[in-house]
Amino acid sequence: MTSVTESPLLSVHRACKSFPGVRALHEVDLTLNKGEVLAVIGENGAGKSTLMKILAGVQLPDSGDIRLDGTPIVIDSVQTALSHGIALIHQELNLSGNLDVGANIFLGREPRRFGLIDKQRIREESKQVLSLVGLDVSPDTLAGSLSIGRQQLVEIAKALSTDARVLIMDEPTSSLSHGESERLFEVIRDLRRRGVSIIYISHRLGEVKDLADSVCVLRDGENAGELGHDEITHDSMVRLMVGRDVSQFYARQPHKPGASLLEVAGLRTSTYPSEELSFTVRAGEIVGVAGLVGAGRTEMLRTLFGVDPMLAGTIRVDGQPIALHSPRDAINAGLALVPEDRKAEGLVIDMPVRSNVSLASLRRHRRLGVFRNESAERSDTSAMIDKLNIKTPSAEQIARLLSGGNQQKVVLGKWLTMSPRVLFLDEPTRGIDVGAKQEIYSLMETLAEQGVAVLFVSSEMEEILGMADRALVMHEGRITGELTREQLSEEAVMHLATGGADAA
Amino acid sequence: MNKILGILLLLVFVCVGTTLLNDAFVESFNMQNIVRYSAFYGIIGIGVAMVIITGGIDLSIGSVIGLVGCVLPMLLVDNGWSVPASLAAVMLLALIIGLTHGLLITKMRLQPFIVTLCGLLVYRGLARWITSDQTKGFGSEFNDSLRLLAIGKPCSVAFLTLLAGIGVTLGSGWQLMRSRRTIDVTTEGSTARWHLPTVGIILGLLLIVIGGSRFAHGYEINAGGTLVSLGSIDIPGWSTRVHPDGVELPRQFMLWAGLGVIPGVLWLMVVLGGRNPRSIVLPLVLVGVAAGLVWGATWLVDRPDDWFWKGKKLVDDTSWWGGNWARTWRIVAVFSSLGLLMASLAWLGQQAVRIAGTAATAPLLLTTSCAILWLLSQTPLGETLVPAPFIVLMLMAFAASIFLNQTIYGRYLLALGNNEEAARFSGINTDRMILLAYVLCSLAAGLGGILFALDTNSIQPASHGNFYELYAIAAAVLGGCSLRGGEGTILGVVIGAAVMRVLYNSINLIGIPSQLEFAIIGLVILLGVVADEMVKRIASRQQSS
């Protein structure tokens, strides 16, 4: 597309970045030419976000160099990145819904006149950038009154108003409808014609195939390969993303599942009220739930656990229908949920390990109806510290001070003291180190062998492929397919997760 | 724990400083008053602490106190209801108010600030309306019965000391027996746990001796009445009249016990100084210097007229702010040198713990108790009677701390205050717990309202209880409750309430213009919170590095 002799617009060479316990990026290279759409793909945790944060000045790399037009630059803040013409559009919208569109576009760098905000100039310049993205709204419109798709376009207009030469878009379509996505693609193509370079991050391989001039694949924080325009196919991308021998990490025996333990029929969640979910999980079975972000998997678990209201449907545990109005009902029925966000939902983060492990079982052990049984708390906690190998100086350590993996084990410990019959896990290994991951996998194994029904949600393809006896794949609130262990493959899951079954 | 220690030090600081500046502070009449009013604020403070722990707030307390204060005399005096019926009726009123707040906050998802702010306005308006703004009171009819609940002095300090001694001894003994079972857990914590009960038993026995010796001599109990008869036990053979020697004996006992400070200091010097002289000698020297400064400040600055330099008066008495130079000088000198003394003592203690580890806690605690005994021996505590509200507060604080620390519901409150979502995900009915917190808060306000009304006996519907919610909140915050929720101790709140009251009293006694009262209380609270925040930051910085 661009002439070969010209040096690339932006290049990253041997970038490294580590966080405590995690190596996020290791000697990653990236090259972006002028007027090019470069797609960066990879599984969750492959290092895409870290790389983009480095380019946008949110984080500094530990080593490696970044060149713009062949000149080495240091991007130490978002302001520096913007002054070099690099703008990042976050996955979550960052607009102030209470301000109008013009004010949002110029937020933090309002043009002044006599010391006051020059509203006239904001209006005029906003109109210009809005027309660039093909958005026909008045700059005086309240940002919050626009649809999500239009807000996304305002975000892009905001980035363009800073004279950005490089636009980084982090999963821009994750919350857009089909029509809105199409509109966005047109804008992207139009920007490309104007010479703006775009780094496009997405899980949706179909979009990537349509849009990208080249593809950079990351895996475990390293370059897994690059694909030129003609090489971009669904298969080639998946091959590079998964890459390694999956079975090694998850060496495990398939289970002989028992009788069906959890039966869900016609479940409607408040997020997708029009979709009905039905499935069963048998005793001693590990069932994975795959799907893209926003497919309604977390919402399904929340509803099954009584956190979110259940609009319709029946849930049977061991054949007995249960009435589900609150988490307490779920717990009484023998269910347990390790939630997605352990800091917000799993842990009372400023309390000691002991208080966290005992929080759910306090009621069970109470004396005289109201009094805590402290010795039961202590023995439960030390049992869990041993069993789960929680690395903590003592049971009285504040949960906040533990590492992510150990925090997750504390949450697991809380539920294991309740000896649940059905265990729900939502992204059980997100943000934790490899060692702790392995321990959590083997714990899931052990529980399944003891006859617990395990249902886990994961966005990591490998986890689904490696751990699940059976997988449910969800897309936009619907279970689009069910795959047995024999049928499980990256392609099959991706196909169903992107709504492939509907199209076929 | 550190927070309670901090606020306790602040209390000691203000008390000792005020006493140095004006002996009237420790007179029994003054002490009784401080204790009585601290108890009122402590009661409503404990109530609001429950709500603050959940991360909420209750602004309506003052108006609830006003409303209860109007309704109670109306029922009792104007309508001739019986005492139990009237009390039950006003407590029911408080209960309904709390339920309403709780339901609006949990079911309608309204913000606590708004709900209780509206409550503040509504109950005040109601109180003024039902009374037509007429002052209400109980007359003199209840002076010897119901009003004793607020103004009675049912027992002597000695009696309470004896009770406390028995309580501490038994409690520590139980702890000691329990810890023996788990002594094989050889962590730092349990070694300390083993020592603390021993110290507790020694302390408890000491209290029994002090209290008992005084109790045997006995005091006139002037709470006859029908309702309040606590401590008015007439044990045959034990006179209920003041024995002529009754005052001196325990005071001297305390004085001698206070000499236990000396072996404590010797222990510090010999044992710790031997191990690491530099770290112990420097703080010891500083303590000495600071003590000298305190002495200088109280003794020398007391006589500004005697200060001459080349025939010219050094300290001019020209009015500066509302008072005179000399007085201002004295206040500043006494408090700053006392602050230096306490800080250097704290440093000394810290060094001792650093050198000797947890083994130092027991001797330090004993030395500190001896020092407190010595300080107390300088006060006429023996002639002091305990006001009835203080006993109400003690009972309530005891119940509240059992609730907060020993029941599953207390744990639920603390957990949901820190992270409501996580509590909900753990199967806790968070709505019901929050509702409970608001009910408890309003009930405490109702109880406080009854006591305040009985105490004043002249209730102005438009102003009775104004701002009291803010005193209660201030006491809770001073006592270590975080407005973000999830943090707080009952003991802290009680001490916080005492600090508020002592500050108020101190301002009057040391001659600071009373116009500055609010400003000074506000500044002290602010300083307390800033200090707390700074300690937290330093701690987290040390953690991360």
- Rounded to whole angstroms, the Cα distance separating B523 from B526 reads 5
The string of pLDDT tens digits covering residues B497-519 is: 999 999 999 999 988 888 888 89
**The pLDDT value given to residue B318:** 55
* Mean pLDDT, rounded, of chain B: 82
Compute the nearest-CA separation of A232 from chain B (Å): 44
More confident residue, A300 or A170: A300
**A contact set with B (CB within 8 A):** 305, 307, 326-328, 330-332, 337, 339, 344-351, 355, 359-360, 362-363, 366, 370-372, 394, 396, 401, 414
- Is B419 in contact with A344 (Cβ distance < 8 A)? yes
Given a contact cutoff of 8 angstroms between Cβ atoms, the answer to whether A9 and A69 are in contact is yes
Given B189, B486, B543, which is nearest A350 (Cβ)? B486
Asked if residue A495 has pLDDT above 90, the reply is: no
Interval A402-435: pLDDT, tens: 888 899 999 999 999 999 999 999 999 877 766 7
- Mean pLDDT of the region B326-337: 83
Q: How confident is the model at residue A135 (pLDDT cuts 50, 70, 90)?
A: confident
Question: Chain B residue closest to A345 (CA)?
Answer: B422
Out of B406, B419, B426, name the one closest to residue A372 (CB).
B406
Which residues in chain A are closer than 8 Å to B409, comparing Cβ atoms? 370
B429:A328 CB<8 A: yes
Q: Is A317 exposed, middle or buried (0-12, 13-18, 19+ CB in 10 A)?
A: middle
- Name the DSSP class of A73: E
Domain ranges of chain A: 10-245, 247-334+420-503, 347-418
Q: Which of B453, B445, B495, B491 is nearest to B474 (CA)?
A: B495
Q: Indicate the SS3 state at residue A237.
A: helix
Give me the CATH code for the A10-245 domain, please: 3.40.50.300
**CA dist., res. A477 & res. A458, Å (int):** 15
Q: Give the pLDDT of residue A95.
A: 85
**Residue whose token pair is 């713009």:** A68
Using 50, 70 and 90 to split pLDDT, how confident is the model at B117? Answer: very high
pLDDT of residue B186: 38
Looking at residue B309, its pLDDT comes to 66
> Quick one: tokens of B231?
């401590």
**Confidence check: pLDDT of A152 > 90:** no
Question: Picking from A161-175, A266-280, B179-193, which range would have the lowest pLDDT averaged per residue?
Answer: B179-193
Mean pLDDT of B189-215: 69
- A349/B419 CB distance under 8 A: yes
Nearest CA in chain B to A414: B426
Token digits of residue B464: 């009775």
Q: What pLDDT was estimated at residue B215? A: 53
Residue B29: CB atoms within 10 A of its CB come to 11
**Per-residue pLDDT at B28:** 81
pLDDT at A501: 52
Q: What is the pLDDT of residue B244?
A: 42
In chain A, the percentage of residues whose pLDDT exceeds 70 is 93
B227 band by pLDDT with thresholds 50, 70 and 90: very low
The C-alpha atoms of residue A476 and residue A461 are separated, in whole angstroms, by: 18
User: What are the tokens at B187?
Assistant: 């962590």
Residue B536 has pLDDT above 60, yes or no: yes
Q: Under CATH, domain A247-334+420-503 is a member of which superfamily?
A: P-loop containing nucleotide triphosphate hydrolases (3.40.50.300)
Put simply, the answer to whether A345 touches B425 (Cβ < 8 Å) is: yes
Q: Does residue B314 have a pLDDT over 70?
A: no
Q: How many angstroms from the chain centroid is the CA of residue B288?
A: 29
Q: Environment class of residue B58 by beta-carbon count within 10 Å: exposed (0-12), middle (13-18) or buried (19+)?
A: buried
- b vs e for A140-169, b when ≥16 Cβ sit within 10 Å of the residue's Cβ? ebebeebeebbbbbbbbbbbbbbebbbbbb
Contact A348 B419 (CB under 8 A): yes
A68: region left, alpha or beta (phi > 0 left; psi from -120 to 50 alpha): beta
Q: Has residue B233 got a pLDDT over 50?
A: no
pLDDT higher than 70, residue B337: yes
Residue B545's pLDDT band (boundaries 50, 70, 90)? very low
How far apart, in whole angstroms, are the C-alpha atoms of residue A395 and residue A386? 11
Categorize the per-residue pLDDT at A44 as very low, low, confident or very high, splitting at 50, 70 and 90.
Answer: low
Measured over the CA atoms of residue A376, residue A382, residue A383 and residue A385, the dihedral's sign is: positive
pLDDT digit string, tens, across residues B430-473: 999 999 999 999 999 999 999 999 999 999 999 999 999 999 99
The residue ranking higher by pLDDT, B27 or A283, is: A283
pLDDT of residue B263: 85
What would the pLDDT profile of B372-405 be if each residue is shown by its tens digit?
878 877 777 666 778 889 999 999 999 999 999 9
Q: Do B409 and A327 touch (CB under 8 A)?
A: no
- The answer to whether A424 and A257 have CB atoms below 8 angstroms apart is no
Residue type for A102, please?
A: G
A368-391: average pLDDT: 92
Place of tokens 């305990």: B386
Structure tokens at A240: 């590079």
pLDDT at res. B544: 53
> Parallel, antiparallel, or unpaired for β A470-475 and A286-291?
parallel
Backbone angles phi, psi at A422, to 5 degrees: -125, 125
With a pLDDT cut of 90, the percent of chain A lying above it is: 46
B106 to chain A, minimum CA–CA distance in Å?
Answer: 15
Residue numbers in B near A327 (CB within 8 A) = 424-427
Q: What number is the average pLDDT over the span A328-354?
A: 93
**Number of CB pairs, chain A paired with chain B, less than 8 A apart:** 76
Mean per-residue pLDDT over chain A, rounded: 87
Residue B74 has pLDDT above 90, yes or no: yes
What pLDDT does B437 receive?
97
Which residues from chain B sit within 8 angstroms of residue A337, using beta carbons? 425
Cα B513 → chain centroid: 25
Most A CBs within 10 A among B182, B401, B425, hence the mutation to make, goes to B425
* Residue in B189, B406, B418 nearest the CB of A351: B418
State the pLDDT at residue A39. 93
Residue range B143-151: mean pLDDT, rounded: 84
Residue A20: the pLDDT is 63
Report the Cα A145 to chain-centroid distance in Å. 26
Quote the minimal CA–CA distance from A268 to chain B in Å: 20
Neighbours of B222 (CB within 10 A): 12
Q: How far is A362 from chain B (nearest CA, A)?
A: 6
The better pLDDT of the pair B127, A89 is held by B127
User: What pLDDT was estimated at residue A46?
Assistant: 78
Are the beta carbons of B543 and A394 separated by less than 8 Å? Answer: no
Collapsing DSSP to helix, strand or coil, A41 comes out as strand
Read off the tokens for A140: 């005086």
Between A88 and B363, name the one with better pLDDT.
A88
Q: How far apart are CA B191 and CA B197, in angstroms?
A: 11
What pLDDT, in 10s, does the model give residues A172-204? 877 677 777 888 898 899 889 989 999 998 877
**B421 pLDDT higher than 90:** yes
SS3 state at B135: coil
Contact assignment for B424 to A401 by CB distance below 8 Å: no
Distance CA B17, CA B31 (A): 15
**Residue B140 banded pLDDT, cuts 50, 70, 90:** confident
For residues A450-468, average pLDDT: 89
Per-residue pLDDT band at B242 (split at 50, 70, 90): very low
Q: Residue A66 phi/psi, 5° resolution?
A: -120, 130
Which residue of B3, B404, B426 is the best one to mutate when testing the A interface, meaning the one whose CB has the most A CBs within 10 A? B426
Tokens 């027992």 belong to: B155
- Give the residue, A106 or B268, on which the prediction is more confident: A106
Distance, CA of A446 to CA of A254 (rounded, Å): 12
Predicted local distance difference test score (pLDDT) of residue A97: 84
Contact (Cβ atoms closer than 8 angstroms) between residue B128 and residue B168: no
Q: Which residues, at least 6 apart from B182, have a Cβ–Cβ distance to it below 8 Å? A: B190
A10-245 shares its CATH topology with A247-334+420-503: yes
Q: Which residues pair with B341 in a beta bridge?
A: none
Search chain B and give the residue with CA nearest A368.
Answer: B407
Per-residue pLDDT tens for A205-254?
778 888 999 999 988 888 988 999 888 887 788 778 776 544 445 656 67
Cβ proximity of A151 and A157 under 8 Å? no
Q: Which of A127-136, B166-175, B303-312, B516-525 has the weakest average pLDDT?
A: B303-312
* pLDDT at residue B238, as a whole number: 34
**CB neighbour class for B124 (10 Å; exposed up to 12, middle 13-18, buried from 19):** buried
Which tokens belong to A219? Answer: 């895996």
Whether B425 sits inside 8 A of A370 (CB atoms) is: no
In terms of average pLDDT, the best of A486-495, B304-313, B374-383 is: A486-495
Residue B223's pLDDT is 37
pLDDT band for position A437 (cuts 50, 70, 90): confident
Q: Answer yes or no: do A344 and B421 touch at CB < 8 A.
A: yes
Q: How many helices (H) and strands (E) does chain B have?
A: 21, 4
